[in-house]
Structures are given as C-alpha cells and as structure tokens.
Amino acid sequence: MAITKIDVEHFLILQHQMPLLDVRSSSEFQYAQIPGAFSLPLFSDEERKVIGTLYKQEGKKRAIKEGLDYFGPKMRAMVSQVEKMVETWNEKLNADVSLNENKKAPLNDIIEAPCIIIHCWRGGMRSGAVAWLLDLYGFQVYQLIGGYKAYRNWALEQLQKQYAFRILAGYTGSGKTNILHSLKGNGETVLDLEMLASHKGSAFGGIGLPPQPSQEMFENVLATALFNIGNQPCWVEDESQRIGQLHIPHTLWKTMRTKPVFFIEIPFGERLQFIIEDYGKCDPQQMQQSIERIQKRLGPLETKTAIQHLRQGELEACFTILLKYYDKYYLKGLTNRENLEGLLHKIPCCNVDSLINAEKLIACITANT
C-alpha cells in the first residue's frame, strides 16, 4: 500500500470522510490547529527542541539519528492510539450519518484498510516518518503536502475574499444572537462570530464562556466557516473589529462594513429587561471587574454609581447606566460607515422576540429583492 500525497484542495474534500492526525508537538497543536484534527505528537516539546538544536549545530543526519531514538520506543503505542482515533471518528461520523440520510457513509466503513490523513508543520520528516509507520501497519495514508503551513496559507486566502453578508444590527440587548439562531432555524445561512470567538463582544462578553482561542485558531475556524458558506447570502451580526481579545481580520471586517445593514429597533425598556435577565444572574464580582474595565470611557462618576447599584442589588439602575453607555458607543460605530443611508434598513420591533423579529428580517429581505 502506498502513501498518497494530497494538496489542500484534495484535503478539503477528504477531511469529512476520515480522521486528520496532526503530528506536531503539543504546544504547536494547542496554539492553533486545523479544525477537527486529532493531536498525535511525534516528539514532545523538549524533544523537538533538542532535535532542532542538533540540526542547526551538527546537521541533518545527526538530528535524524536522535529523532529515531525518540521515535522507536513510541511506535507501538502510536499505532494503538491511531486505531482508537479511527474508531472514535467512525462512531461520530456514523452517528451523524444516521441523523442525516443525505450524508455519505465514512470511507473507513466501505473499504478494507482504515483511512487517515496526516500532517506536520511543512509536510516534511515528522509526518513522513509517522506516515511510513502507519502505512507499514496497514492504514491507507494520505499525507498533506506542505502540512499545516499550506493549510494556514489557504485559510488566510479565505479571509481576503468577498462574501454576500447581510449585517444584523441593533442596540445592546436586542437579542441579536438569538435572532441569528432563529434565522438559521428558518433555513437562512448564518455566521456566528461571537460563538467562534467565545465572547459576546462587550466588556461583559466573556462572563460564563470558555477561554477564547488564539487569534490564529480563531482565523482558522473562521476560514473554514467562510469556505462552507461560499457565495450564499449570509447573516452576520454587526461587530466592532475587536471581539474580546481577538480581532476580526481587517479585510474581512472592511467587507462587512460595506454590506446592507438591517437594524432591529427595540424600545429601551424592553432591551433593559432582556439584559437584566441575561446578566442578572452573573457573578457580581465578575460584573464589577467588567464595569471597571470601561471606567475610562464610562466616566468616574457613572462607574462609581453603577458599581454602587450593583453591590446593593439594584440591577435595573445599574444596567440602565451601562445600557445608555453602550447605546451611545454602538451608535457611533453604526454611523461610522460610508454610504450608511444607502445601506441601512430599519425594522421596528415591539420587544425582544427572536422568532418574530427573525420573520420580520426575512420579510424585509423579500420586500427588497
């Protein structure tokens, strides 16, 4: 059985049919990886450092000999680990197929040899060594030409393209994320940037959510989502360029700023009650820390007053101060667009009802096409 080398375009076709194994070190993988990959490090971080130093100081052959000393004792365990990865992959994919009859059965169920894709940083010695071992054992091995670096270049290309975005806008507390979910439930294509970034965008946006990914990993999952969207019209929430500690790639954000804006107009009181329900159960200490992060823009008096209301359990008074601040801040970002008059569509809504408001958005699109 021969090892088959594939380019990124071929990989994009096969990645949904077999597991992807990343043989880079754990720290490389943890920082950023191709979405969906399994970590199968050939060398630990320390081993990789030793081999890299030997390569620079004593040459390629000396580094390979040292690498073989590390690789040899791991071979059996790596084969067993890959067998478990293939089993886990097939179980998940079979479950997905059973839920959707239109999906294809995994290749590993319809051919004799289990299939895998393997890559390292540049498609060189690390992935080549593990590919040789797994091919020898009996796996059908596909090796990604250019490795993670080739994928990363492809991902960056996706972020430079034009997309048919429809911008969902509305003041804080309008339930925009819930509307995105309702739009998706109605068959609309949706890009949820805040979900990908693990952050809701404001100074309070990280409360109760998992840690944010690295900037590089955020760009990778974003590129994959954009590739799947292609040329379809796609709803995306109006965002500032920064989402927590991450930023939307500049070219993509500039593209978003040129697309039609559908602004949900909901009364202040309705939005205030939504915010109270959404954030009212959050840890008061985390809330106070978030307020303190915006004190330079909020102002010393308003900051002190909001924190005092928070400590006394006067949530409506506290959130009224914060919501007025965010309304002012959001309006500035909304109007800082070229040709806003030609892009803006206002949709009056009585309250924060994601189902009804999603229907109004769809009706607005229908009326304008």
Catalytic residues: 120
- What is the DSSP track for 182-244? HHHHTT--EE-HHHHHTS-SSTTTTTTSPPPPPHHHHHHHHHHHHHHHTTS-EEEE---SEET
| Of residues 174, 368, 353, the one with CA closest to residue 275 | 174
What is the per-residue burial (b if ≥16 Cβ within 10 Å, else e) of 147-165? bbebbbebbeebbeeebeb
Evaluate whether 133 touches 78 at the Cβ level (below 8 Å): yes
Please state whether beta strands 140-144 and 4-6 pair in parallel, antiparallel, or not at all (unpaired): parallel
What is the per-residue burial (b if ≥16 Cβ within 10 Å, else e) of 105-138? ebbbeeeeebbbbbbbbebebbbbbbbebbbebe
The tokens of 314 are what?
Answer: 């006067």
DSSP 8-state symbol, 369: -
- What is the DSSP track for 65-131? HHHHHHHGGGHHHHHHHHHHHHHHHHHHHHHHHHH-TTSPPPHHHHSSS-EEEEE-SSSSHHHHHHH
- Alpha carbon distances (Å) from 301 to 290, 298, 306: 16, 8, 9
| Of residues 25, 30, 45, the one with CA closest to residue 53 | 45
Give the whole-angstrom CA distance, residue 172 versus residue 190: 19
Evaluate whether 275 touches 321 at the Cβ level (below 8 Å): no
- Alpha carbon distances (Å) from 279 to 77, 208, 310, 358: 47, 10, 12, 23
